[in-house]
Structure 1
Amino acid sequence: MDEWIDEGVIPATKAAVQRSGGGSGASEGRSGKRSRGPRVDVPDLSGSVGKTRGQRLEGRVEEAARAFAAQRYLDAQRLLRPIAQEVPRSPEVRELYGLTLYRLGKWKAAAAQLEAFVDLTGGSVEQHPVLADCYRAMGQHPKVDALWRELRDASPSADLVTEGRIVAAGSLADRGELSAAVQMLSKGFKLPARHSDYHLARAYALADLYERSGDVPQARQLFSRLESLSPGYSDVPQRLSALG
């Protein structure tokens, strides 16, 4: 497993995995891993390897997608590794394989697959938060900054941009720039009563940064609001108890 450089906390965003049907969708709290899974439309591989072989590989991709959704990442890796080698120009395969490697903590290998996905799709930003988190894990913060700028400028959806913002703020915090990290998440943000999952994820990350920067009253206030709006979210009850 690649070394994980983690001086900060980035909560996983539940909405991403719920959209894809991958995983349980539960927040991972302090894990730092993003949850964005692919919407797997099994690719047509017959053009690359012929009809018979293509159908066989397509069945394995489908099996790998089921393994990923069930969080059986080693099984998904076993299925996808040879397929990615045999049909390297399938963006669907490279995406799913990259996300599987990411879930296994293989940051460098995951980044390579997700970079290939970006290239093969003509610049898709769909997995930029995960790709950025790989680079964050390896301490390659300039790449995190670049990916965040691309995602922010593309502005594909509120939840996806929020995921990227959380990773970018975590990268700043890793570099000791806690004030800038807080500013990135707090500017123009209030946790609404009618919230989506990405609102909760941003609030959790911000509350954590408040605590780390020594602003315990703000951290307590935001964690309390999280608990009132979404009881039991991540490890919020434990965080509140620790804050006293």
Structure 2
Amino acid sequence: MPIPEDVTGEEIDKDVRQELQSLPKTLADDVAKNLVMVARLLDEDPEGAYGYSRVALRLASRVAAVREAAGFASYASQKYGEALAEFRAAKRMTGNIDLWPVMADCERGLGRPEKALDMAGAPEVHKLDKAGQVEMRLVAAGARRDMGQLDAAIVTLQSSELASNSVQPWTARLRYAYADALLAAGREGEAREWFAKAVEADRDGSTDASDRLAELDGVEFVDALGEDEDEGGEASVEEKD
């Protein structure tokens, strides 16, 4: 696959670069460039990222960072079986349990929420850092919802991290998941409160909490161009009755 001229391979994390030092220099450079492309395309073009990850995997399948990148590219492309296999390989190579939550979410993607819940109760969870434990809680709540256990999903998300007023990288997503679970359970008033709290914490727009809150408040965005398609028109906001 083509590599843009502005990609040098030097853009990758220094720890990954160090892993690649076990390879001949030319090969290491090629792998690094493909990993840069995986990272660059992962969010906006998952299939493109997947393609570059397969190239990197073909070149250096014994490098843990390559297996992990291939796992995330497969995960983003909803190829959960492949993703799980790559994450397991990376975990075997490094002994690192940081991938445990996303591995559990792959089990959800494969239609095995019970397995995801088993993983949520495994000893590995206690070895995760705080961010990893919150992520595991989100996955477990999602598994409960997969099984139609809405009340259990709500209880799963109730935690000291949810109750805390301090804003951490995971706060917005945790509050959003809680609000969404409340709404699914018909607790609209509480859901509105927590969507508002998610908006407060969502400093980088990682969720659509503001849109969900607007929906609950009866606000909808209308394209002012409408049927006459006037040029220069702007979007307007209307309140529902």
Highest relative contact order (Cα 8 Å, sep 6+), 1 or 2?
A: 1
Q: Deviations over 1:107-157 (max 9, x none)?
A: 1111111111112223x2211222111111111123212332334222x21
Alignment partners' CA distance in 2, 1:242 and 1:145: 32
Return the match for 2:97 from 121, 125, 147: 125
Long gaps (5+) in structure 2: 1-10, 218-241
Given the alignment of the two structures, is residue 41 of structure 1 paired with residue 16 of structure 2, yes or no? yes
Aligned residues: 202
Identical amino acids, percent of aligned pairs: 25
What SS is found at the alignment partner of 2:17?
coil
Amino acid paired to 1:41: V
Q: In the alignment, which residue of structure 2 is the partner of 1:5?
A: none
User: What are the within-5 Å matches in structure 2 for residues 56-205 of structure 1?
Assistant: 56-71=26-41, 72-122=45-95, 124-150=96-122, 151-154=124-127, 156-205=128-177
Larger C-alpha radius of gyration, 1 or 2? 2
State the Cα distance separating 1:83 from its structure 2 match: 4.0
Amino acid paired to 1:105: Q
Long gaps (5+) in structure 1: 1-20, 23-37
Alignment partners' CA distance in 2, 1:39 and 1:176: 44
**RMSD of Structure 2 on Structure 1 (CA):** 2.6
Q: Residues 42 and 61 of structure 1 are in contact (CA less than 8 Å); yes or no, is this contact kept in structure 2?
A: no
TM-score by length of 1: 0.72
State the Cα distance separating 1:74 from its structure 2 match: 4.0
Alignment partners' CA distance in 2, 1:77 and 1:214: 39
TM-score by length of 2: 0.73
What SS is found at the alignment partner of 1:42?
helix
